[in-house]
Amino acid sequence: MTGTVAATPAEVRAAVAAAHRDEWARVFGALVRFTGDWSLAEDCTQEAFARALERWGAEGVPRSPGGWLTVTARRRAIDVVRRSGVEADKLRLMVADEQLAAPAADAALGDVDADWRDDVLRLIFTCAHPALPMEGRVALTLRTVAGLTTAEIARLFLVSEATMSQRLLRAKRKIAEAGIPYRVPPPALIADRTSGVLAVVYLLFTEGYAPDDGRVVRDELAEEAIRLARLVADLTRDPESRGLLALLLLQHARRGARLDDAGDVVPLDEQRRELWDPVAIAAGLRLVAEAPLPRGPYAVQAAIAAEHDRAPSASDTDWPRIVALYDDLPQHPVIRLNRAVAVAMAIGPDAGLAALDDLGEPAALAAGHLLPAARGELLRRAGRPDEAVPFLERARHLAPSEAEKRLFTRRIAECRDAV
């Protein structure tokens, strides 16, 4: 089961790090299925990676690192259960009993390799179960599917490790105590639950774009979301999952141009498009082109992002098509707001202002900066700078980050100069 060539310490570290990134979910997923106990599964998975660091040097890096780690973690679980006789009947170790009878853990490697997709899918769906609080779903997905440590997740969400550890513990406890099944949902539930999974991934991504300080770690969060989106898209082969992946790739492709050297937010129409990531854009455009019709909401949003990303400039963007795509989306207030801005680009600022009038002041937007920001900006473009100022001031007051407040300060100054 192992390679024959010994590996250098550097090679071992690299191989273990790669396995941690790529194989954590399948090893952990297999162990949850095997033991029925999330905490035991976590301990044994961790232990298997520690063993790999010790042993891959002398034994060589195995041909199937995931298989090696799974078998090692399973042996560890069997040991733990053997030693704590009292707990054995409390753990749901039917499978373990079979394995104890036959010393066939190594022979099981083939079957371990074959099942991993289902194990990872079970994990993904269980972590996103709607009975868990949203923050628990997100944290648990990062811990168990993405394989991040508790400390890493705590850092990404800017909370203490103790807080994050509690959050994870509560989520794991609820899975066990409320009887949340560890499985891929049956056909009647799959559509609903898949959209729950996508919501977790999307939230992770938007959290990455929460525009306040700590920019560097936030980028990591967005990248973790893309990695998860790719995994979910590969495993479910669901068109909306691919739509979400495309959307994230196409939005994240613009990250290099979102802030200027002073750290100020650069609006889309002023971004230096040569700073956009052409590889991510190409991958996103390919997914959008392949998307089957009719498209779901993520795929439509991806198609909108694709129009922006493929356009040479804001003025050379196919705005009428963007407006038409917005019409295909559920008419949530934020969508209607974005549509009004697209109408302004397609037809003119006055048409955009009329669309904003139609929108009114829905509760979902009442407390945020988006509505006054849009109205102020459209008034400015309509050549009514004096009317724009109070809206831009209100937008600045409500904007969630300093970088955005500075953008509105700049706009207000431009309006005052124009009056």
Partner 1 sequence: MQYMMFVATDPDAEPYDPAQDNIQEWATLVQARGAHLHGDRLRPVEDATLVRMRDGELIVSDGPFAETREWIAGYDVLECENLDEAIELASKHPMARFGRLELRPVWPFDPAE
Find the binding residues for partner 1 in span 128-157 (CB under 8 A): 129, 131
Find the binding residues for partner 1 in span 68-127 (CB under 8 A): none
Nearer to partner 1 among residue 180 and residue 351 (C-beta): 180
How far apart CA 83 and CA 103 sit, in angstroms, is 17
Query: Closest distance between partner 1 and the C-beta of residue 191, in Å?
Result: 14
How far apart CA 395 and CA 157 sit, in angstroms, is 26
Nearer to partner 1 among residue 175 and residue 355 (C-beta): 175
β-pair partners for 265: 259
Span from 176-184, 213-221, 280-288, 307-315 in contact with partner 1 (CB under 8 A):
176-184
**Pick from 151, 178, 191, 289: which binds partner 1 (CB under 8 A)?**
178
> What is the number of other CB atoms lying within 10 angstroms of the CB of residue 261?
5
Asked if residue 182 lies in contact with residue 32, where contact means CB atoms within 8 angstroms, the answer is yes
- 294 part of the interface to partner 1, by CB under 8 A: no
Q: Judged by CB under 8 A, how many residues of this single chain contact partner 1?
A: 9
- Of 225, 250, 344, the closest CA to residue 305 belongs to 250
Query: Closest distance between partner 1 and the C-beta of residue 38, in Å?
Result: 15
Asked if residue 43 lies in contact with residue 95, where contact means CB atoms within 8 angstroms, the answer is no
CA distances from 23 to 15, 19, 48, 220, 367 (A): 11, 5, 12, 19, 43
Query: Closest distance between partner 1 and the C-beta of residue 180, in Å?
Result: 5
- Of 12, 103, 85, 5, the closest CA to residue 51 belongs to 12
Q: Which amino acid is at 398?
A: L
Find the binding residues for partner 1 in span 321-340 (CB under 8 A): none
* List of residues 6+ apart from 122 with CB closer than 8 A: 29, 32, 33, 182, 183, 184
Nearer to partner 1 among residue 133 and residue 181 (C-beta): 181
Query: Closest distance between partner 1 and the C-beta of residue 196, in Å?
Result: 12
Give the pair of three-digit tokens for residue 113.
Answer: 């390799």
Nearer to partner 1 among residue 129 and residue 254 (C-beta): 129
Helices (H), 36-160: 38-59, 65-83, 85-88, 94-101, 109-127, 134-140, 150-156
How far apart CA 185 and CA 337 sit, in angstroms, is 36
Query: Coil, strand or helix: which one is 383?
Result: coil
**Pick from 100, 189, 191, 289: which binds partner 1 (CB under 8 A)?**
189
- 185 part of the interface to partner 1, by CB under 8 A: yes
Nearer to partner 1 among residue 72 and residue 194 (C-beta): 194
- The sign of the CA dihedral 334, 339, 342, 348 is negative
How far apart CA 366 and CA 168 sit, in angstroms, is 34
Main-chain phi, psi angles of 265, to 5 degrees: -70, 130
Span from 35-43, 180-188, 273-281, 365-373 in contact with partner 1 (CB under 8 A):
180-188
- 187 part of the interface to partner 1, by CB under 8 A: no
- 191 part of the interface to partner 1, by CB under 8 A: no
Query: Closest distance between partner 1 and the C-beta of residue 419, in Å?
Result: 48
Nearer to partner 1 among residue 58 and residue 131 (C-beta): 131
Q: HSE of 147 in the Cβ direction (CA atoms, 13 Å)?
A: 19
Span from 181-189, 284-292, 377-385, 392-400 in contact with partner 1 (CB under 8 A):
181-189
Span from 114-122, 148-156, 174-182, 356-364 in contact with partner 1 (CB under 8 A):
174-182
Q: Which amino acid is at 139?
A: A
Span from 77-85, 155-163, 173-181, 217-225 in contact with partner 1 (CB under 8 A):
173-181
Nearer to partner 1 among residue 17 and residue 131 (C-beta): 131
Query: Closest distance between partner 1 and the C-beta of residue 189, in Å?
Result: 7
Q: Which amino acid is at 109?
A: L
Query: Closest distance between partner 1 and the C-beta of residue 190, in Å?
Result: 12
Nearer to partner 1 among residue 5 and residue 188 (C-beta): 188
Cis (ω within 30 of 0) for the bond into 278? no
Query: Closest distance between partner 1 and the C-beta of residue 182, in Å?
Result: 9
Span from 32-40, 178-186, 229-237, 321-329 in contact with partner 1 (CB under 8 A):
178-186
Query: Closest distance between partner 1 and the C-beta of residue 185, in Å?
Result: 7
Binding stretches for partner 1 (CB under 8 A): 129, 131, 177-181, 185, 189
